Amino acid sequence: MKEKLVSYLVCPDCKQSLSLSIVEADGQEIEQGELLCPSCTKSYPIVRGIPRFVSTDAYVKNFSFQWNTHRTTQVDSIAGHSESCKTFQTKTGLTDSELKDKLVLDVGVGTGRFMEVANSLGAEVIGIDLSYAVDAAYLNMGRRVGIHVVQADVFRLPFRSDTFDAIYSIGVLHHTPDTRKAFACLPPLLKQGGTIAIWVYVDAGLYSQRLDRVRALTTRIPQFSLYVMCWLLVPFFRTMRHVPGIKYLAMLVPVSDQGRGLTWDVLDTFDAYSPRYQWKHKEPEVIGWFNGASLKEIQVLSFPVSVRGRKSHA
Ligand SMILES: C[S@@+](CC[C@H](N)C(=O)[O-])C[C@H]1O[C@@H](n2cnc3c(N)ncnc32)[C@H](O)[C@@H]1O
Ligand SMILES: [Zn+2]
C-alpha cells in the first residue's frame, strides 16, 4: 500500500484516523506493517501490501479461490481484450468527467478489472473486497499510481462519510447476506454531488429459479471438486444444447456460453454455482433503495438491473 492511502482510511469501528507503522517497504509500497487506532486501540495489519480490516474471508471462500485461480482471465490489459471496459460502461454509465481526477470506490473489486478501467480514465481508485481476491487485485494493479487495494467488508468499511466523488459496485451486493442493507452502507460515503452506480442480478423468473435449484446442490460440493466439474460439464452441456431432441435437457443445468472462450465460461459457471448468497432483484425494488437513500437523478441503464443516482447538495 502507498502511504497516501492512510489519509483516506479510518478505524471501521470508531471512525478515528489511523497511525501507520512500517515493518517492510519496497520503494513507495509498504509491504508489511500495521495501522493503529489510537482511540480504541484496535490494530489492523498490512500483509503482502494490503491493509486488512477483516481477519477471514468468511462466506466468500469461493471468491478467494475463483479470483486467485483466474487472476488474469477478465483483466483487459493482461488478457488482451476490452470486455471489462465495455462491461464497465454498460453497467455504470460513469462518464470520463465523473472519473477524471476523482476519488472513486470500487466495492467488491475482485481481480481489479474495473479498477483498471476507472484508473485509465483518470480516477484515483480504492478497491475493497472481503475475499482474498484482494491479493489477485494487488498483484494485477496494486503498484500502479492512483490505485489502492484494501481487504474490508462492505458492512464495516474503513472510510469517513462524504469521502468519494463516485462509488460503483458491479456484481457484488447480491452476494452479501442482505443486498439492500449492503447498498445502504454506501451513499453516506459519497460527497455531495457524488455518483453511485450499481449492478445487481436481475430476477429472471423461471431461469433464476432453475439456477437456484442447481445452486442449492452445488454449494454443498467442495469448491475444488465443483471447479473440476465445471471444466467437464461446461463443454458437455454446451454441446448438448445444439443436439436436436435433447437440447431441452441441457436447459436443466444452465452453463455459461458467452462466446469468450472455454476458460471464461468455466469461470462464469463456477461463479454462478459456488456463492453462498446470490439474491436476485427487480428494477422497482432497486429504485426504491436509491429513493430510500434520498439519491437524485436516478437513472436505470439498459442492462438489468443497473441503476445509478446522485447525492444531492445539502
Ligand atoms: C462476482 S464477484 C465480482 C467482482 C468484480 N466486481 C468483478 O465483477 O469482476 C463478487 C465479489 O464480491 C465480494 N464480496 C462479497 N461479499 C462482500 C462483502 N460483504 N464485502 C466486500 N466484498 C464482498 C466477493 O468477495 C467477490 O470478490
Ligand atoms: Zn478505533
The answer on 298 and 196 residing in a single domain is: yes
The answer on 99 and 172 residing in a single domain is: yes
Give the position, in ligand 1's atom list, of the atom nearest the Cα of 67: 27
The answer on 63 and 104 residing in a single domain is: yes
The answer on 126 and 74 residing in a single domain is: yes
pLDDT tens-digit readout, 174-230: 999 999 999 999 999 999 999 999 999 999 998 899 889 999 999 999 999 999 999
The answer on 64 and 45 residing in a single domain is: no
Nearest residue (CA) to ligand 1, atom 25: 131
- Return the best residue to mutate from 59, 62, 63 for the ligand 1 pocket (most ligand atoms within 8 A of CB): 63
Domain range holding 42?
1-52
CA 131 to ligand 1 center in whole angstroms? 7
List CB-based neighbours of ion ligand 2 within 5 Å. 11, 13-14, 37, 39-40
Cell of 32: 508489511
The answer on 135 and 34 residing in a single domain is: no
* Of the listed ranges 117-126, 251-260, 261-270, the one predicted with least confidence: 251-260
pLDDT tens-digit readout, 58-107: 999 999 999 999 999 999 999 999 999 999 999 999 999 999 999 999 99
pTM above 0.85, yes or no: yes
The answer on 88 and 154 residing in a single domain is: yes
Contact, 279 vs 179, CB < 8 A? yes
The answer on 181 and 305 residing in a single domain is: yes
Give the position, in ligand 1's atom list, of the atom nearest the Cα of 155: 19
Rounded-to-integer distance, Cα 48 and Cα 99, Å: 28
pLDDT-based confidence at residue 253 (cuts at 50, 70, 90): confident
The answer on 64 and 1 residing in a single domain is: no
CA 157 to ligand 2 center in whole angstroms? 12
For the residues 272-284, what does the mean pLDDT come to?
97
pLDDT score recorded for residue 252: 76
Alpha-carbon distances of 211 from 203, 215, 248, 274, 286, rounded to whole Å: 11, 6, 15, 11, 21
The answer on 110 and 91 residing in a single domain is: yes
Contact, 166 vs 285, CB < 8 A? no
Give the position, in ligand 1's atom list, of the atom nearest the Cα of 182: 19
The answer on 140 and 95 residing in a single domain is: yes
**Ligand 1 near 131 CB (within 6 A):** yes
Q: Which of 36, 52, 68 is the last residue of a domain?
A: 52
Total domains in the chain come to: 3
The answer on 11 and 87 residing in a single domain is: no
Give the position, in ligand 1's atom list, of the atom nearest the Cα of 87: 8
